[in-house]
Amino acid sequence: MDDRITPEARHFIEIISRFVQDECMPVEDAIEDTGRLPDPLVRTMKHLGLFGLRIPVVYGGSGMNLLDYCFALKELSKSHDAIRAIMSVNNGIGSMAIVNDGTEDQKAHYLPLLASGEYISAFALTEPGAGSDASAIATTAAKSPGGWVLNGMKHFITNAPIADIFTVIAVTDKEKRAKGGITAFIVEKGSKGLTIGNIHNTMGGKGWLQAEVIFDDCFVPDKNLVGSIGSGFKIAMKTLNEGRLSAAASAIGIGERLLSMGVEYAKLRKQFGKAIGEFEAIQWMLADSAMELYAADRMLADTAYRFDHGEDIRTQSSMTKLFATESAFKVADRMLQLHGGMGFMKETKVERMFRDIRAYRIFEGTSEIQRFMIARELLKN
């Protein structure tokens, strides 16, 4: 484990590791079959404080730094992806705008509810017409007495059907758009004019839902504006900057579990009178996977550590997300191949992780967008 991870976090990571082995892995099939997390498991997650790891201590969280959090998240990601997903939104994209830019009242009201897991959160940026180009969003917020009126539609929004609050990014000045014309709002479940549309059918990620979120003259009081008018695009980018490292951490966790499954299978499975692990072709799959996961792990530790020490990590965060998620996908493909026909069968769980890991190259900015941002920074200098 990285030397820079605090002793408290190391201890906590061991607790998570036992939780994953003893309580998460036994219910993975049930989550996959039912599409929901068992209530006792969620209760234990709350008890462990998993929903508030990144939320400051004064607001009921654990106040972990990003390095400690990423490695705790990596460990938890070795279980079913739905377990990771529900807690990582409350620790990341669902709470980050309030933690970074919220008013004291917003923090005091919402953060304890998010930290305890009593409230589930969602981050609503993407729209049918605005994905990679987030500045093209069409959802508007118009000033009205005492607040703002939101109109428009978001889609692919994680946790939307179960969320108690949404961080919504909307246009407040069509001329300025990303340059001071986009603003962030907290919208509560049950607000008049807020409805959840279709729940998307997905290739993986069973148990964590994406849905459309529709605003039809949805009134949001002034007190729920986050930051200042026009600062919403910056708030969203700051949120995603940190979110990219969470995506990297989870991808590495999934990759490490797959690799350990591959090692076990390579030792056990015999063909041509010997363990398949004795064939060079299989050894190369294992060696390449171990090498890539090691490199991704080191990038993650370095970037998170720099973030905790106040450095601008925009480019490193893109590099880490890109490398970790692309590597973990290659690992998943190799480990499925290593398992032969058995890898295609539900009983080994490899096929599930292969499907789950696919989304990581898309959300929090696609691989192409990460490359675009890295190159843009290089060419600028």
Ligand X SMILES: Cc1cc2nc3c(=O)[nH]c(=O)nc-3n(C[C@H](O)[C@H](O)[C@H](O)COP(=O)(O)OP(=O)(O)OC[C@H]3O[C@@H](n4cnc5c(N)ncnc54)[C@H](O)[C@@H]3O)c2cc1C
Cite the active site residues.
Answer: 364
**Surface-to-core class of residue 175, CB atoms within 10 Å of its CB (0-12 exposed, 13-18 middle, 19+ buried):** exposed
Rounded to whole angstroms, how far apart are CA atoms 36 and 161? 12
Q: Which of 158, 172, 318, 320 is close enough to bind ligand X by CB under 6 A?
A: 158
Tell me how far, at minimum, the Cβ of 222 lies from ligand X, in Å: 24
366 is a site residue for ligand X (CB under 6 A): yes
Nearer to ligand X, 92 or 277 (CB): 92
Tell me how far, at minimum, the Cβ of 328 lies from ligand X, in Å: 15
Give the C-alpha distances (Å, rounded to integers) separating 291 from 39, 280, 304, 328.
38, 16, 20, 11
Tell me how far, at minimum, the Cβ of 276 lies from ligand X, in Å: 33
- Nearest alpha carbon to residue 163 among 131, 118, 128: 118
Nearer to ligand X, 240 or 293 (CB): 240
Task: Count the residues of the shown chain that bind ligand X, applying the rule CB under 6 A.
Answer: 19
27 is a site residue for ligand X (CB under 6 A): no
Letter for the amino acid at 381?
N
Nearer to ligand X, 158 or 289 (CB): 158
Q: Rounded to 5 degrees, what are φ and ψ at 262?
A: -65, -40
Q: Is the dihedral of CA 331, 335, 341, 343 positive or negative?
A: negative
Q: Which of 88, 172, 210, 289 is close enough to bind ligand X by CB under 6 A?
A: 210
Report residue 353 as tokens.
Answer: 């992780």
163 is a site residue for ligand X (CB under 6 A): no
Nearer to ligand X, 219 or 372 (CB): 372
Stretch that binds ligand X, among 275-283, 293-301, 318-326, 355-363 (CB under 6 A): 355-363
In three-state secondary structure terms, 273 is coil
Tell me how far, at minimum, the Cβ of 210 lies from ligand X, in Å: 5
Q: By rule CB under 6 A, what string of x and - marks binding of each residue 121-140 to ligand X?
A: --xxxx----xx--------
Tell me how far, at minimum, the Cβ of 159 lies from ligand X, in Å: 7
Stretch that binds ligand X, among 46-54, 99-107, 156-164, 305-313 (CB under 6 A): 156-164
150 is a site residue for ligand X (CB under 6 A): no
Rounded to whole angstroms, how far apart are CA atoms 303 and 71? 12
Tell me how far, at minimum, the Cβ of 108 lies from ligand X, in Å: 25
Report residue 122 as tokens.
Answer: 């969602």
183 is a site residue for ligand X (CB under 6 A): no
Question: Kind of pairing, strands 225-226 and 182-188?
Answer: antiparallel
Give the C-alpha distances (Å, rounded to integers) separating 56 from 5, 61, 95, 341.
18, 5, 11, 47
Nearer to ligand X, 107 or 154 (CB): 154
Stretch that binds ligand X, among 69-77, 107-115, 119-127, 343-351 (CB under 6 A): 119-127
Stretch that binds ligand X, among 47-55, 152-160, 254-262, 307-315 (CB under 6 A): 152-160
- Nearest alpha carbon to residue 78 among 289, 279, 252, 282: 252
125 neighbors 166 (Cβ within 8 angstroms) = no
- Nearest alpha carbon to residue 342 among 253, 256, 271: 271
Nearer to ligand X, 64 or 236 (CB): 236
369 is a site residue for ligand X (CB under 6 A): yes
Residue nearest to ligand X (CB): 131
Give the C-alpha distances (Å, rounded to integers) separating 229 from 213, 219, 255.
22, 16, 41
**Surface-to-core class of residue 200, CB atoms within 10 Å of its CB (0-12 exposed, 13-18 middle, 19+ buried):** middle
Report residue 62 as tokens.
Answer: 């654990």
372 is a site residue for ligand X (CB under 6 A): yes
Site residues (CB under 6 A) for ligand X? 123-126, 131-132, 156-158, 205, 210, 359, 362-363, 365-366, 368-369, 372
